[in-house]
Chains A and B, each alone.
Chain A
């Protein structure tokens, strides 16, 4: 890996962190409405995972999608503009936080119905197989999503049809306020892949390099015809489920322990210890990220609202 690539991973994680922190502020100010699910604590997952995808590989995820969007190459500007409901947003202000997408960048969206995008991911992969595209579909979802029928239907079909899907479960220990062991019959989400005869493994989601390495190998195997595989990423959501979560379901000690495993902190130390980058260079990345987010907020705030006609556009392709 080149030094530039190492720094780029760092940069992306910090951009996501700052984007999320600013979004929380803008939510408090009433500039963002609806639901806002922050990715703070999980930055290393999508950053590592998506850093090794090829442009032809498709990414699809749930509603906790801001970080995924950034990693897929959407600009902070168009993400922030979407959060503010502006017409310059990636979904023209009609989707909001939960519905970011840019199909030109092969980012097939944030999806707000738990588990509903898994069958769609199977279909994306089917489309590639049918058309002889050598692409991998990466489908990300939460631990909670493994309990809904959609998950099981999609995994089964993907195996039966040998579809090139990398199923990525972000196990952040909770689905809203429900701890994994209160909702799932098995404590490791990857065990569910066993039921479909699917190869699976787990990785530490707080370490971006580990996520990246495992992902790179899995993409190659799937690209070469292994069929679908399952990756469970162990991580933690540092903030509430959405805004205004009373967080009665977890102790502050538990949260504190995980905060000590901050993926950005871990990677920061890694880069210094391995003398890949100096403290000054990392500070420079933080400064650049800060600038990028300031610019994105300014852009989003100055952007126009969607015009009234927009309400009736895009109901059908053909009007």
Chain B
């Protein structure tokens, strides 16, 4: 196993899948000549050529729409959205087309499509460019939504997404690209729709994913010094949502904090908390807490932006409140 960055892990998955399967190709803004705005596809254009690494106009609806069409013919397109904020410009094609065609035509149409999108706040990009709207997309049946928090999961989930017969939205967090971790070489697959326990503990369960896994882990490290043992469940996939490890952990700790970067209202935390109440009510020893983004469009000013985003201290505070 090599210790590589999230960026390298994603890049590796793409590269290996393109080498393995000629029906896999990439399209998106600045994926080719530029090498990807986050340098994920650096070197791809020279190696795979312009037919398989296709720079597109700035036109998100047709990027996703054309990817859907190509997928219907049996290809495996990977459509890159420069940021998830631009997914709103392709919203119809994502939620009204990609998520529905298979069902609506009685299973005839098959779209093995991956949409890669970079999300997350914290880089002073202002309100329209800093969103974490993962829950919005996870709302729609027919679409699979994954958001890895470690380099290994990024590689394994992306490979699974590319090989999947269903449309998958693969959400990468912009501030995780430099994060390092052990990543298995070669064919490493992490199945879609499987949550996992990232850290064992017995006092409280933190349910989280993506960037907030890092924040939650830091909080858990600090709490450990005070003798508080946190168990962390990483959802990894938001749809299908695998509650089994969450419930298993909760039945042991009887207390939960859900940490997400997006807004609290109608969010991932709301969903997970309700399911715990529905499925494990008898095990509840304290009201479940949610840590999430302040309910404001993110401001440019650095101090205000950081105030709005969930911080390690917020997680520690919430954990202490449920104990």
Contacts and interface: CB of A to CB of B under 8 A. Distances in A.
B60 A148 contact: yes
B58 A115 contact: yes
Interface residues of A, number: 41
Contact of A312 (B60, B89, B296): B296
A143 B27 CA distance: 20
B283 interface: no
A308 to B, nearest CB: 7
A147 B297 CA distance: 28
Interface residues of B, number: 36
A292 interface: no
A176 B58 CA distance: 10
Interface string B278-304: 000000000000000011110111111
Interface stretch (B5-13, B102-110, B112-120, B125-133): B125-133
B301 A93 contact: yes
Dominant secondary structure of chain B at its interface with chain A? loop
B126 A99 contact: yes
Contacts of B304: 93-94, 306, 308, 310-311
A178 B126 contact: no
Contacts of B56: 183
B302 A85 contact: yes
Nearest to A250: B33
Interface of A is mostly: loop
B30 A177 contact: yes
B59 A34 contact: no
A91 B307 CA distance: 18
B229 interface: no
B28 to A, nearest CB: 11
Interface of B: 29-30, 33-35, 37, 55-62, 85-86, 89, 123-129, 294-297, 299-304, 307-308
Given A98-B126, A149-B59, A310-B301, 6 more contacts: A35-B125, A95-B126, A149-B62, A176-B30, A306-B303, A312-B294
20 contacts: A33-B300, A85-B124, A85-B302, A93-B299, A95-B300, A96-B126, A96-B301, A98-B126, A113-B128, A115-B58, A148-B59, A178-B30, A183-B57, A184-B57, A249-B33, A249-B34, A310-B301, A311-B299, A312-B294, A315-B296
